[in-house]
Amino acid sequence: MANDTDLTDYIGHSVPRANTLALLNGRGQFVDDISLPGMLHVCFVRSPYSHARILEIDKQDALQSPGVVAVVTGKELLAYCEPWRAELTHLPPMQTALQYAMPPERVCYQGEPVVAVVAESRALAEDAAELVEIDWEELANVASIEEAMQSEGPRVHPEMDTNLAWSMELEQGELDKQFSAADVIVEQEFYVDRQTGVTLEPRGIIANYNSADGQLLLHHSTQVPHIQRAVYSKQLGIKESKLRIICPDLGGGFGLKLHIYSDEISTAALSVMLNRPLKFIADRLESFLSDIHARGHIVKAKMALTEAGNITALQLEDVAGGGAYLIHPRTSTIEPLLVGVCTPLAYDIEHYKANVSLVYQNKVPTAQYRGVGMPVASLVMEGMMDAAARKMQIDKAEIRKVNLRADDAYPCKSVTGETLEGLSQHESLDRLLEMCAYPQLREEQQKLREQGIYRGIGLVTVVEGTSPSPALYAAGGAPISSRDACTLRLESDGSIACITSLTEQGQGAYAIINQIVADTIGVKMDEVDILMGDTKATPFGGGTWASRGTSIAGEAALLSANAMKEKILDAVSQLADAPAEQLYIKNGKVIEIETEKVVLTLEELGRITHYRTMEFPQGFDPELVVTNHYSQRDHMMLYANCAMCLTLDVDINTGQVKLDQIWVVEDCGKVINPMLVDEQIRGGVVQGIGSALFEECIYDEDAQLRNGTLADYLVPMAGEMPDIKIAHVETPTLVTELGAKGCGEAGIISICAAIMNGINDALEPLGDVSLTSQPFTPEKILKAIGKI
Amino acid sequence: MNYVEPSSITELMNYVTTVEDYRCLAGGATLVAMMNVGLVEPELLISLHKLDELKGMRIDQNVIRIGAMTTHTAITDEDRLTGNASLVRSAAGQIAHSAVRNMGTIGGAISHADPSADFPAALTAANATIEVLGPSGRRVIQIDDFFVNYLETSLTEKEIVMAIMVPLSPADAIGHHLKFSRVDGDYATVSVSLALAMEGRICSYARIAVGSVAAVPLRLKEADDILIGSNLEESEIARASELLLKSSDPIDDVRGSSSYRKFLIPRLIRQAVLQSKKELSYT
Amino acid sequence: MSNKTDISVNVNGREYTRHVSPRVSLADFIRHDLGLTGTHVGCEHGVCGACVVKLDGKIVRSCLTLAVQTDGHAIETIEGLSESGEISDMQEIFHKRNALQCGYCTPGILLTAAELLEKTATPDREEIREFLSGNLCRCTGYEAIIDAVEETARERQDGK
């Protein structure tokens, strides 16, 4: 393997990541670790109300507070930052509200920033912020989704007739006919509460405007520097070529750090206004109030089946809660969109109808957070499968086998028009059932039931979307690139400089590119040095989101590495007077295939190329730099599949759920680094355990957040988490040479459904419990079985 | 804000009697957290960590005197907390996590008087007495009189906790702090703190306190009396639980609704008593 | 307006004398006054563990400690533990096992795990999980971390 002597076979191996060494020694550099000369600090006065008019702002006392440089209102900041409307024109029309860096007149969610205080330190800014006096006029607010749906009642945006931001209908086949003719009909209503993401490193930005040359430099904890640049450039009126974004180390993203945030763009605008470097770091309390939230769905589903358990039709209605604005630039519609598009994907369903919609609420906007609608799609589909299995007394694995497409059915189209290729649902399920010894699990369950222990088995088979094409966002006008690129250079010492548009959030972006480049060219991994996250230096690209890094940026890296290899061999053939086809590269040496003789080392080639070009024949100019872009344009997404089984125990005396074991079989195409894929799955599973059992944003009737601290909002800690066993099936995607699909969201897309199914399976002896309200808290469980 | 570190009780009392707006800083685990979110902004912060009188643990006539500034970790590691006093050790080890236990102090914890915290219920069940000091001198407060309301003790203004005295007897008693929380280390949703001794099959001693179900730890002598002298059968446990349940007044909060807490109370009491009974039968 | 005081504190074996406001947390003091940014801030309410440092040899939450409280005391941070080499075996194993993803929680986790192994030479997985349950990691799901701490303990035993 790769550890042995000369071998540089890295692809497919669990190689450690070079870029963790600094982090392990406390020598990483996150945005708050950076200090610029003359830097000031920003803190925001935020609305205490979920809906209110700003009548008057008195900043006189605040201005006098020690260390204060400026106190700026939304009205004053208008001159530096244009408001925007988030919209995707390729989807059914959206009602979108104007959003400001800081609103000049009306706030629409608790926590919306209204006044910025700039001071010599964050503490001094906070002291001054307390002295800002604001006269408010409270307005009627819209708190719950149900309230938002009412035809009469308060509006989040008075210029709109309703609180409906967007809706879409998908229909294929003859639903009414199928339901009339159905042998069995199953109906369920699912409720998924709103949650937040909680990145351990809160959001942060340092903006440094220099009026001398009109350059704006941002150090930004973001996953997508090019997108940020496009939007900031437009809103601030600064050319992209004068706007540079550098990504420091990023302490967790999960989709939270993709979006345009009022406080961050305000900080940039303030830097332009004041011509000084400014730092803004959200503290944890602010994070709860201002990071994008996610989920928040009410889904009604109805399914028709034959006696044998074949699904003939599926119908669903999803109302998703969107918050006060559509997030920019992705809009908040993608969650319900993917519920509509992805729910039926796992099974061969011919008749389908979905009505999905997004409503405004006086809450923080919801947006893309790991999984993006697909965890809800799985919850619904897999919940319906188990509900059908319970009703029809069919084994839960059997009912899935009956409905999964054959492994040789691909490529094919789903009922929602999505192309599915390279799936292995039967093979994955079979492997899973073997791995967990499913029949024995059922036997053990029976034995435990006799002892009064409520053991449950949760089983799901899921299809998840990864690696989107431009059809998802850019087709609708959003400045979101679905391309990524890789530039490679041979350096003077023979090492390879690699510059990629992919960004790191800890998932292993650096390592994957490192492996692909080193393996493909034929050099050791530490001979490749990678630069990421700098819009001035890297090629243009999409960044990290939607499980697209390996598949798309990895493909670009593969293309470049192959091209670089060709160029190296070509250059060496010129120097050595040997045909390129008779040479290959191994461990940084160019070797003649037949004789195994070393013709030239890359170190020598580097020296000659950069210093001693006279050694090349006249007319030959070595150009050992390559750039390749790759954009996945074949399908809206590359779909992968995941099968998951878990065991859990429900304590009916306390309602607590104790997770016992979890098994996962994932097919994400070609696996570049098994350890990193497994760790992505584990991380996603545990985040999803949080969603399933603990995480919810608890609001009162005035849309005030009641649990916005880490003591009250629970996220999974080590104590309660089980070990997770993972196996892989590898069906390379037909779309790329690399063959990899994405895997980062598989865990979270599967686990919530598996836990729900496990709980309902555990409680089956007590009747068909059908608890379908996430998070599945002890109280809900006790209520569902009539104990409280 | 100003900060001082008195090195004698006299110096401490001097500050306390001359300054209006002050707070005493013990470990900081609670106070600094409150300062960080802006709940508390005293003009003078008086650190107690140089006061030797508040440190250390010593045994005197079958009572262990625990200095107010003793950390939760020190209590968790203290082998001399035996018999009835083992309850305090059991509770200390379940507070939050190691890094917090290394900082937090027993004096700080009880002065804060949060009924969802672990020490208030455990010390109530352990029948502790609290030695306090004020400008008018020292006095001793029995634990049942110490917690007055949510976040309120019977300390008068200017008094501080000096030490907590915990009886070691009954020597044959065991202490059981059953903390039911959403996850490990969280505040209790409901806790049951129990000191129990048996003579053969008869309960010779019982003192139960329930935490997180009222403004102060819930303890009823009548409930203890049902258990004392009995065989601790299901019926007695149920009757004692019923009394405690009737007197409980739990709130709705993120950890649980009032009805959920009421559901848990008898079940957790039963669990605590049966577990303790089982443990005692092995000794 | 706060009255600043002088403090003398030993950090990673070096004496520092500084003039600080009583309001400044130890975390902010270490990070911004001393420039040791390896200790991270995740919540400021003592829950997440990203800020863990050693104070007089025991781990504490530096976000819940005031800098002024450390006058005359000794602090060790991830930088100090790294330089001394006392956790280099654990860091190497973390690296190999990928027991970190974004790295933000990692210094706090390493310091906490170091204390665990001082207290218990061969903890089982449940003990490791329990001891680390005051350190939030949002990326890894914890299993790789537990594996790495377990392996570190095992190798230290084998090395004896």
Note the maximum CA span of chain A: 89
Across the interface, whether the CB atoms of B183 and A711 are under 8 A apart is answered no
Question: Which candidate from C36, C103, C144 shows the least CB-CB separation from A28?
Answer: C103
Res C1 pLDDT > 60 = no
Tens digit of each residue's pLDDT (9 = 90 or more) over A73-120: 999 999 999 999 999 999 999 999 999 999 999 999 999 999 999 999
Q: Are residues A384 and A450 in the same domain?
A: yes
Looking at residue C14, its amino acid is R
Mutation pick from B103, B182, B254 vs chain C, by most beta carbons of C within 10 Å, is B103
Task: Please choose, from the candidates A68, A40, A47, A41, the residue with its C-alpha nearest in 3D space to the C-alpha of residue A128.
Answer: A68
Both tokens of residue A643?
Answer: 């099968």
Predicted local distance difference test score (pLDDT) of residue C3:
84
> Mean pLDDT throughout A774-787?
96
Q: Are residues A44 and A123 in the same domain?
A: yes
3-state secondary structure of A304: strand
Whether the Cβ atoms of residue A523 and residue A556 lie closer than 8 Å to each other:
no
Res B281 pLDDT > 90 = no
Query: Nearest residue on chain C to B30, judged by CA atoms?
Result: C64
Across the interface, whether the CB atoms of B1 and C2 are under 8 A apart is answered yes
Res B282 pLDDT > 90 = no
Q: Is A700 within a domain?
A: yes
Both tokens of residue A397?
Answer: 């694995």
Is the CB of A694 inside 8 Å of chain C's CB atoms? Answer: no
Q: How many CA atoms lie within 13 A of A304 on its CB side?
A: 19
Q: Enumerate the H helices of A17-133 as residue ranges.
A: 21-24, 60-64, 74-77, 122-129
Both tokens of residue C129?
Answer: 């999980």
Q: Is B224 within a domain?
A: yes
Query: Nearest residue on chain B to A780, judged by CA atoms?
Result: B260
The alpha carbon of residue B94 is apart from the nearest alpha carbon of chain C, in Å, by: 11
Predicted local distance difference test score (pLDDT) of residue B185:
86
Both tokens of residue A625?
Answer: 């730099």
Q: Is B41 within a domain?
A: yes
Is the CB of C69 inside 8 Å of chain B's CB atoms? Answer: yes
What span, in angstroms and rounded, lies between the C-alpha atoms of A325 and A165?
A: 9
Tens digit of each residue's pLDDT (9 = 90 or more) over A422-446: 999 999 999 999 999 999 999 999 9
Q: Are residues A357 and A244 in the same domain?
A: no
Is pTM beyond 0.90? Reply is yes
CATH code, domain with B27:
3.30.43
Domain count, chain B: 2
> Mean pLDDT throughout C27-43?
98
**Residue B244 sits in which domain range?**
174-281
What span, in angstroms and rounded, lies between the C-alpha atoms of A218 and A651?
A: 51
What span, in angstroms and rounded, lies between the C-alpha atoms of C160 and C148?
A: 19
Q: Are residues A448 and A348 in the same domain?
A: yes
Q: Is A448 within a domain?
A: yes
What span, in angstroms and rounded, lies between the C-alpha atoms of B259 and B253?
A: 11
Tens digit of each residue's pLDDT (9 = 90 or more) over B44-90: 999 999 999 999 999 999 999 999 999 999 999 999 999 999 999 99
The alpha carbon of residue C95 is apart from the nearest alpha carbon of chain A, in Å, by: 6
Q: Is A513 within a domain?
A: yes
Both tokens of residue A514?
Answer: 């490192």
Instruction: Give the E-state strand segments of C21-159 in sequence order.
Output: 52-55, 58-61, 74-76
Q: pLDDT band at residue A2, thresholds of 50, 70 and 90?
A: very low
Tens digit of each residue's pLDDT (9 = 90 or more) over A389-434: 999 999 999 999 999 999 999 999 999 999 999 999 999 999 999 9
Within its chain, how far is the Cα of A91 from the centroid?
21
Task: Please choose, from the candidates B268, B273, B283, B122, the residue with its C-alpha nearest in 3D space to the C-alpha of residue B203.
Answer: B273
Across the interface, whether the CB atoms of C45 and B36 are under 8 A apart is answered yes
CATH code, domain with A621:
3.30.365.10
Q: Are residues A644 and A618 in the same domain?
A: no
Chain A residues in contact with B259 by the CB 8 A cut-off are 788
What span, in angstroms and rounded, lies between the C-alpha atoms of A376 and A389?
A: 20
Complete edge-to-edge strand list for the sheet that includes strand A589-592: A583-586, A589-592, A598-601
Tens digit of each residue's pLDDT (9 = 90 or more) over B152-203: 999 998 999 999 999 999 999 999 999 999 998 899 999 999 999 999 999 9
Mutation pick from C1, C39, C47, C66 vs chain B, by most beta carbons of B within 10 Å, is C66
Q: Are residues A464 and A514 in the same domain?
A: no
Domain count, chain A: 3
What span, in angstroms and rounded, lies between the C-alpha atoms of A208 and A272?
A: 8
Question: Would the CA dihedral through A509, A514, A517, A520 be positive or negative?
Answer: negative
Q: Are residues A102 and A237 in the same domain?
A: yes
Mutation pick from C3, C7, C63, C69 vs chain B, by most beta carbons of B within 10 Å, is C69
Percent of chain C, pLDDT > 70?
Answer: 99
Res A1 pLDDT > 50 = no
CATH code, domain with A262:
3.90.1170.50
CATH code, domain with B203:
3.30.390.50
Across the interface, whether the CB atoms of B263 and A706 are under 8 A apart is answered no
What span, in angstroms and rounded, lies between the C-alpha atoms of B200 and B215?
A: 36
Where does residue A36 rank: exposed (0-12), middle (13-18), buried (19+ CB within 10 A)? middle
> Mean pLDDT throughout A324-346?
97
ipTM of the complex: 0.98
Query: Nearest residue on chain B to A697, judged by CA atoms?
Result: B254
Q: Is A405 within a domain?
A: yes
Q: Is B148 within a domain?
A: no
Question: Would the CA dihedral through B216, B217, B220, B221 be positive or negative?
Answer: negative
Chain B residues in contact with A713 by the CB 8 A cut-off are 254
> Mean pLDDT throughout A231-249?
98
Q: pLDDT band at residue A4, thresholds of 50, 70 and 90?
A: low
Looking at residue B118, its amino acid is D
> Mean pLDDT throughout A139-150?
96
Res A23 pLDDT > 50 = yes
Q: Is A162 within a domain?
A: no
How far lies A261's CA from each of A113, A264, A278, A330, C78, in Å?
10, 5, 16, 12, 32
Q: Is A519 within a domain?
A: yes
Q: Is B40 within a domain?
A: yes
Res C87 pLDDT > 70 = yes
Question: Dihedral (C-alpha) C42, C46, C48, C54: value to the nearest 10 degrees?
Answer: 90
Q: Is B150 within a domain?
A: no
What is the distance between the terminal CA atoms of chain A, rounded to a whole angstrom?
59
Question: Which candidate from B38, B186, B254 shows the least CB-CB separation from A707?
Answer: B254
Question: Which candidate from B180, B183, B185 shows the least CB-CB separation from A654?
Answer: B180
Predicted local distance difference test score (pLDDT) of residue B111:
96
Q: Are residues A277 and A391 in the same domain?
A: no
* CB < 8 Å from B in window 715-734 of A: 716-717, 719-720
Q: Are residues A507 and A435 in the same domain?
A: no
The alpha carbon of residue C100 is apart from the nearest alpha carbon of chain B, in Å, by: 21
Tens digit of each residue's pLDDT (9 = 90 or more) over A674-717: 999 999 999 999 999 999 999 999 999 999 999 999 999 999 99
Is the CB of C160 inside 8 Å of chain B's CB atoms? Answer: no
Domain boundary pick from A613, A631, A649: A631
Predicted local distance difference test score (pLDDT) of residue B283:
56
Q: Chain-wide mean pLDDT for chain A?
A: 96
What span, in angstroms and rounded, lies between the C-alpha atoms of A714 and A698?
A: 12
Domain boundary pick from A290, A308, A325: A290
Question: In this structure, are strands A243-246 and A215-220 parallel, antiparallel, or unpaired?
Answer: parallel
C115: how many CB neighbours lie within 10 A of its CB? 18
Task: Please choose, from the candidates B249, B126, B242, B119, the residue with its C-alpha nearest in 3D space to the C-alpha of residue B188.
Answer: B119
What span, in angstroms and rounded, lies between the C-alpha atoms of A745 and A757?
A: 19
Q: Is A589 within a domain?
A: yes
Chain A residues in contact with C141 by the CB 8 A cut-off are 679, 682-687, 716, 721, 724, 747
* CB < 8 Å from A in window 9-68 of B: 37-38
Q: pLDDT band at residue C2, thresholds of 50, 70 and 90?
A: low
Is the CB of A522 inside 8 Å of chain C's CB atoms? Answer: no
Q: Is A176 within a domain?
A: no
Predicted local distance difference test score (pLDDT) of residue A6:
67
Is the CB of B98 inside 8 Å of chain A's CB atoms? Answer: no
Is the CB of B273 inside 8 Å of chain C's CB atoms? Answer: no
Q: Is B129 within a domain?
A: no
Domains and CATH numbers, chain C: 5-81 (3.10.20.30), 85-158 (1.10.150.120)
Whether the Cβ atoms of residue A638 and residue A551 lie closer than 8 Å to each other:
yes
Is the CB of A254 inside 8 Å of chain C's CB atoms? Answer: yes
Q: Are residues A135 and A251 in the same domain?
A: yes
Q: Is B256 within a domain?
A: yes
Across the interface, whether the CB atoms of C98 and A676 are under 8 A apart is answered yes
Q: Are residues A459 and A556 in the same domain?
A: no
Q: Are residues A38 and A70 in the same domain?
A: yes
Q: Which residues contact B278 (CB under 8 A, 6 or more apart)?
A: none
Domain boundary pick from A264, A290, A316: A290
Question: Which candidate from C69, C71, C116 shows the least CB-CB separation from B28?
Answer: C69
Is the CB of B250 inside 8 Å of chain A's CB atoms? Answer: no
Q: Is B7 within a domain?
A: yes
Helix (H) / strand (E) containing A70: strand A68-73
**Residue A109 sits in which domain range?**
34-139+199-290
Q: Which residues contact B257 (CB under 8 A, 6 or more apart)?
A: A779
Predicted local distance difference test score (pLDDT) of residue A22:
98
Q: pLDDT band at residue A189, thresholds of 50, 70 and 90?
A: very high
Mutation pick from A35, A64, A200, A505 vs chain C, by most beta carbons of C within 10 Å, is A200
Q: pLDDT band at residue A35, thresholds of 50, 70 and 90?
A: very high
